[in-house]
Amino acid sequence: MTGHLTGRDITRMRRSGMVALTPAEGLALLDAALVAAEPAVVAAHLDPAALRDTAVPALLRGLLSGAGRAAPRAAAQYPRAAAARGPSAPPATRAGLLGLVRDHAAVVLGHGSAAAIPEAHGFLEIGFDSLTAVELRNRLATVTGLRLPATLIFDHPTPGRLAEHLAAALQPTSLEPAPLGPVAGETEPANRPVLESASADEVFAFIDQHLGRANGNGSDAR
């Protein structure tokens, strides 16, 4: 099952805290799993030291004391989106985010320097596959605080274009509430993002306004 793994694959596993099992270790764990009372078993050799160097998945945090709080090392110099947003926050620069993307891409691919990651070359062209694409997405999501899709590098296929996307997503946003009333010329789907960010009282007021109008009365739709 693992005969096709390359040295880079094994390095990526170690970086995520998973140490490769020898055939003897795997067979011993299989024997133990067959007689275990638990309905589901994961046979794995974890490296606590490696886990503490990265963002620990939620399922593993209970195994390590004080783990899961550290972001990847290359991410320490960049602000999270939660801190970067707001009317007085400075915008994230494309140059800084390009450095972030290249730093993390170099780590994921096992390069010693971001110089190995050209700005205009495609991620697939420089060696990314589906697994490394997800690892890069996870790293960037951790450091920026953004919710990023698994298709991130396919949607924005070069480091330069990905940096532009992150810069746009990290621009300061206004804290002024958006109006809930209908805007002339807008259709229902255009109102949907506004409703998703509204409070419960604002949503009820919107329903009361529109359903009451459709029913010919102003009754409470709640």
Q: Across residues 25-33, what is the average pLDDT?
A: 92
Domain containing 206: what range? 177-222
68 lies in some domain? no
Provide the pLDDT for residue 151: 93
164 lies in some domain? yes
Percent above pLDDT 90 for the chain: 30
- Domain count for the chain, please give it: 3
156 lies in some domain? yes
pLDDT at 51 over 80: no
Which of the pair, 13 or 54, is modelled with greater confidence?
13
pLDDT band of residue 14 (cuts 50, 70, 90) is confident
Among 189, 85, 101, residue whose Cα is nearest residue 139: 101
2 lies in some domain? no
pLDDT per residue over 112-133, tens digit each?
Answer: 899 999 999 999 999 998 888 9
Instruction: Looking at the structure, tell me whether residues 97 and 144 fall in a common domain.
Output: yes
Instruction: Looking at the structure, tell me whether residues 81 and 146 fall in a common domain.
Output: yes
pLDDT per residue over 156-209, tens digit each?
Answer: 999 999 999 999 998 876 444 544 555 444 444 444 445 555 566 666 666 666
Domain containing residue 155: CATH number: 1.10.1200.10
Percent above pLDDT 70 for the chain: 61
